[in-house]
Amino acid sequence: MKFGRELASQMVQEWQEAYMDYNYLKTLLKDVLRFQQKNASSSEEISRSHSLQRRVSMYRAFSGLTSRYSTLKGSPRKNSPRNSEDEVILVSAVQGEGSESCYQTMFLRSSEEGGEYELVFFRRLDDEFNKVVKFYKNKVEEVKMEAEELSKQMDALIALRIRVDKPSVAQNCARETNFSSSDASDSSPATVIATVNGNKQGGLHMDVIQEIEMGTCEDEKKLENKMDSNGFWPPSLQVLDHVKINVEPDTPVSTLKNVIMSSKSDLSFSKDELRKVEKKLRHAFIEFYQKLRLLKSYCFLNMLAFSKILKKYDKITSRKASKSYLEMVDKSYLGSSDEVNRLIEKLEATFIKHFSNGNRRKGMNSLKTQAKKERHRITFFLGLFTGCSIALAVAIIVSIHGRNLLNHEGRGQYMDNIFPLYSLFGFIVLHMVMYGGNTYLWRHFRVNYPFIFGFKQGTELGYREVFLLASGLSVLALAAVLSNLDMEMDPRTKSFKTLTELVPLGLVTVLLFITFCPFNIIYRSSRFFLIKCAWHCLCAPLYKVTLPDFFLADQLTSQVQAFRSLQFYICYYGWVIPFWSRFLQCLRRLAEEKDPMQGFNGLKYLSTIVALVMRTVYDLRKGMFWKIMAASSSGVTTIFSTYWDIVIDWGLLQRNAKNPWLRDKLLVSNKAVYFVAIVVNILLRLVWMQLVLDFNEAPFLHRRAMIAVVACLEILRRGIWNFFRLENEHLNNVGKYRAFKSVPLPFNYDDDDKTV
C-alpha cells in the first residue's frame, strides 16, 4: 500500500485538516519532475546537435581533452557541486504571530533553472509543518489541562473511598486535623505540585496518588511525612468539603426531581454513590486514554509523512535536503515533546492501581480497545438467509398465482385484517436494509458514525451484521406469511382458525424475545443501546436529548404505517407517538441549549402532528371541508419538512458556497448525486399526499397494498436522508476537530475555591 493511502486510512478523520497534506506536496514534486523531464528532453536534442559538430573536428576535441584533464587533476575546484550539494536549504525559527515561533526554509538553489518549482514546494512544506506543530501543541495543552482535572477528581475519589470504607479513620483524622488546620493551610496537598526526580510535573501526578488504608490517623501522618520526603503528597480528606457530586438523572422521576431541586448534590458518603462515581471516573479515564493514543498516533504519522515526502524530494532532485530538514523536525516541539508519552505512562499506572486492583493485564485490556474482527460465518449466514428469503418470496408468489388468490372472495378481508400484521415486518426489514446501506456508505466515505452515535468501541454493527439481521428477520416473516397463507386459504384447515391467527402473534413474540434477551448473544450491546434510545424517545423530554435519541426518533417518523399496523396489537392512534416524542425532544433541547432552531424544529413536528390528525379526521368523516383542511395542513408540513431536510439537516443550498447551491465540503466527488438526492427527497415527500387528495389508485393494487408501497417509499427516503444527515454531522465535527465525546466527571469543585 502506498503511504498516501496508508496515511488516509490511519488518520483521525475529525482531524484530517490538521494533518500534513501529503497528496498536495506530492503534486508539487510531480511538477518538479515534469520540468526535469522536459528539460532533459531538450538537453538531449542540444547534445545531439553538438555531437554532429564534434565529428568534424574530432582531433581538436581530443587534444583539448588531454590538456583540460591535466589541469583538473593538478588543481581540483573548491566549489564543486559534490562539496556544496548538502547546502541546499537553511531552516530557521522566526517569530510568528503573537508569541509563537514558526519555521522558515531558505532554498539556496532558487537561481538555478527550475528552482522556482522547488521554492514553492519548500514554502508549502513550511506551511504544513507549522500547521501541524501548532495543532499538536494546542492539543497537548488541552490534554494537560484535562489531566489536571482528572488528578483533582482522583483526589476526591480516594478521599471518598476512605470516608466510605474507613469511616472511623476519617473521623479521627478530621478531629485531629481541626487543631492543626491553621498551620497546614498554606501547604494543602491539593495545591502542591508533585515532583519526580526534582522536576516539576505541573499537576500531572496521577501516578503518585496513594490510597490510604490504615487504622489510625497517626499512621496516616507518618505516611504523609514519608511521601513528603520523596516529593509526593497523598490526597487530603478535606477535599471532600469543597466538592459536590454531579447528579445525572437515571430515571424520569429523578429528572422531575432535578427540575425542582438543584442538579448538584452534596455527598452522602454511601457505597452506592461511591460505585457510581467510580464508574463515571473509570469511563473518563478510558476516553482520555484513547485521546492520548490518537494524539500520539497523530505525532508519529506526521513525522513519518515529512520523512517520506523529503526522501521523495531527494530522489527526484538528486539533492540531500532531507537530512537538515528532518533534524529541524526532530528538534521541534513535534519531535522533542514527550508530554503525551509521560501522560500515557502515568494514566496506565493510575488506572491499573485504582481501577484494576493492580492487575496490569486486566487494566490494559480495559484501556486498549480490541480491534473488531471480521468473521467469515457472518458472510456465510448472510448468504444463506438471503437465499432462503428469495426462495420463500418466490414460493409465496407461486402460491398466490397458483391458487388465483388475487380474485379470491376473501381477498378484501385478508388485506384489511392480516396484511397489516405482516407489512409491519416488511417495513422493519426494509428500514434495516437501508440502514445497512447507510453504514456501508458511511464506512466507504470514512464517516465516523460509531463516534457520532456514541457506540461502545468495538461493538458497533457493520453493514454485514445489519444485513444479516435483516435477512434473518425476513426469513422468519416470509415463513410465517407462507404458513398463514396456506392455513387461511386451505378449506381443510378452517377448523384451525385460532391457530392460524396465532401465527403473526407468535412472530411478534419471537421478535420481542430476541430484542429483550438478556444473554450475550445476537449483538446484545447493540440491542440494549437501541432499547435505551427507544426508551428515551418514549419518555421525552424527561431525558437529556443526545444525537442517537433524536436520530432514532427521526427514523420512527418514517414508520408511520408500521405504527398504524400496530393497531391490531395496541391501539389505532399509536402512529402519533414518534412525532410527539420528537416534538418533546426539541422542547427539551430548546430549554437546555437555548437554541431557537430547536424551537423551529419543534414547530415542524407539531405541524406534522396536526396534518396527521386532519388526515385521520378526513378518513373518518369525509367531506370537502375536511379534505381541504387535510390537504392544506399536509402541504404546509411538506414544504416545511422538505426545506428543513435539505437546508438544515443536510446543510445544502448555500448560496455563497464553493460548490454552488451545495456546501463548501462534500464527501461524494460527483456533485450530481446531491442534486439528485434533493429532487428525490422532494418527490418522495410529495408522494404521501396522494393518499390525502384521493388520486386514482392503481386498479391492480388494493388500498392496503398502495399504503404499504407509499410507506416503503418513505422508508427509502429516510435511508437517503440518513446518509446526508450524518455526512453533515461528520463535516461539522471535522470543522471543529471534535473527535472525542465529552465525558461528564463525577465531582464538581466549588467555584469560590479555585485552590482546592
The C-alpha cell that represents 135 in the structure block: 495543532
What is the spatial distance between Cα 151 and Cα 628, in angstroms, rounded to a whole number? Answer: 65
What is the spatial distance between Cα 321 and Cα 88, in angstroms, rounded to a whole number? Answer: 6
Per residue in 526-580, pLDDT tens?
899 899 888 888 887 778 888 888 888 888 888 877 776 665 555 434 457 678 8
What is the average pLDDT across 160-167?
A: 77
What is the spatial distance between Cα 504 and Cα 500, in angstroms, rounded to a whole number? Answer: 8
| pTM across the whole model | 0.65
Amino acid 261: pLDDT: 57
Residues in the chain: 756
In this model, does residue 251 exceed pLDDT 70? Answer: no
Q: Where residue 208 falls among pLDDT bands split at 50, 70, 90?
A: very low
Q: Which amino acid is at 439?
A: T
Per residue in 261-314, pLDDT tens?
555 566 677 788 788 888 888 888 888 888 899 899 999 999 999 999 999 988
Amino acid 32: pLDDT: 84
Helix (H) or strand (E) holding 94: strand 89-95
Q: Which residue has the cell 452506592?
A: 272
In this model, does residue 352 exceed pLDDT 50? Answer: yes
| 364-374 core/surface letters (b: 16 or more CB in 10 A; e: else) | eebbeeeeeee
Q: Do 474 and 389 form a contact (C-beta atoms < 8 A)? A: yes
User: pLDDT: is 371 or 315 the higher one?
Assistant: 315
The C-alpha cell that represents 128 in the structure block: 504544513
What is the average pLDDT across 147-173?
A: 77
Amino acid 132: pLDDT: 92
CA angle 328, 333, 337 (to 5 degrees): 120
Q: What is the DSSP string of 360-379?
A: HHHHHHHHSPPPPPP-HHHH
Q: Do 649 and 721 form a contact (C-beta atoms < 8 A)? A: yes
Domain positions in the chain: 165-269, 376-735
In this model, does residue 89 exceed pLDDT 50? Answer: yes
User: pLDDT: is 83 or 277 the higher one?
Assistant: 277
Q: What is the DSSP string of 551-600?
A: HHHHHHHT-HHHHHHGGGTS-GGGGGHHHHHHHHHHHHHHHHH--HHHHH
Per residue in 438-475, pLDDT tens?
999 998 888 888 888 888 777 888 899 999 999 999 99
What is the spatial distance between Cα 239 and Cα 512, in angstroms, rounded to a whole number? Answer: 49
Q: How would you write 236-254 as a 3-class SS string?
A: CHHHHHHEEEECCCCCHHH
In this model, does residue 380 exceed pLDDT 90? Answer: yes
Phi/psi for 243 (5° steps) reads -125, 155
Per residue in 569-604, pLDDT tens?
554 344 576 788 888 888 888 888 888 888 888 888
C-alpha closest to that of 641 among 691, 573, 577, 714: 714
Amino acid 727: pLDDT: 87
Q: Where residue 392 falls among pLDDT bands split at 50, 70, 90?
A: very high
Ranked by mean pLDDT, the top range of 59-68, 560-569, 743-752 is: 560-569
What is the average pLDDT across 226-240?
A: 53
The C-alpha cell that represents 367 in the structure block: 484501556
Amino acid 506: pLDDT: 81
Q: Where residue 703 falls among pLDDT bands split at 50, 70, 90?
A: confident
Amino acid 494: pLDDT: 53
Helix (H) or strand (E) holding 90: strand 89-95
Q: What is the DSSP string of 308-340?
A: HHHHHHHHHHT---HHHHHHHHHHSHHHH--HH
User: pLDDT: is 575 or 722 the higher one?
Assistant: 722
What is the spatial distance between Cα 169 and Cα 163, in angstroms, rounded to a whole number? Answer: 8
User: pLDDT: is 609 or 201 the higher one?
Assistant: 609
Among 365-369, 404-408, 596-600, the least confident range: 404-408
Among 134-138, 200-204, 584-588, the least confident range: 200-204
Q: What's the whole-number average pLDDT of the chain? A: 75
Among 148-162, 190-204, 637-651, the least confident range: 190-204
What is the spatial distance between Cα 105 and Cα 125, in angstroms, rounded to a whole number? Answer: 9
Phi/psi for 180 (5° steps) reads -115, 20
Cβ within 8 Å of residue 517, ≥6 positions away: 524, 527
Among 318-327, 390-399, 562-571, 631-640, the least confident range: 562-571
Q: Lay out the sheet containing 264-265: strands in order across.
A: 264-265, 243-246, 747-749
Amino acid 736: pLDDT: 61
**Number of Cβ atoms within 10 Å of the Cβ of 288:** 22
CA dihedral 560, 565, 566, 568 (to 10 degrees): 150
| 557-593 core/surface letters (b: 16 or more CB in 10 A; e: else) | bbbbbbbbbbeeeeeeebbbbbbbbbbbbbbbbbeee
Amino acid 56: pLDDT: 42
Percentage of the residues of the chain whose pLDDT score is greater than 70: 70
Amino acid 580: pLDDT: 80
- The CB-side HSE value for 21 (13 A sphere, CA atoms) comes to 14
What is the spatial distance between Cα 96 and Cα 126, in angstroms, rounded to a whole number? Answer: 13
Per residue in 311-341, pLDDT tens?
998 888 888 888 888 888 898 888 888 899 9
Per DSSP, the three-state class of 180 is coil
Q: Where residue 215 falls among pLDDT bands split at 50, 70, 90?
A: very low
Cβ within 8 Å of residue 77, ≥6 positions away: none
Amino acid 710: pLDDT: 83
Q: How would you write 625-645 as a 3-class SS string?
A: HHHHHHHHHHHHHHHHHHHHH
CA distances in angstroms from 233 to 170, 229, 347, 753, listed in the order given? 17, 9, 17, 20
Q: Where residue 690 falls among pLDDT bands split at 50, 70, 90?
A: low
Amino acid 245: pLDDT: 72
Cβ within 8 Å of residue 129, ≥6 positions away: 20, 103, 306, 329, 332, 334
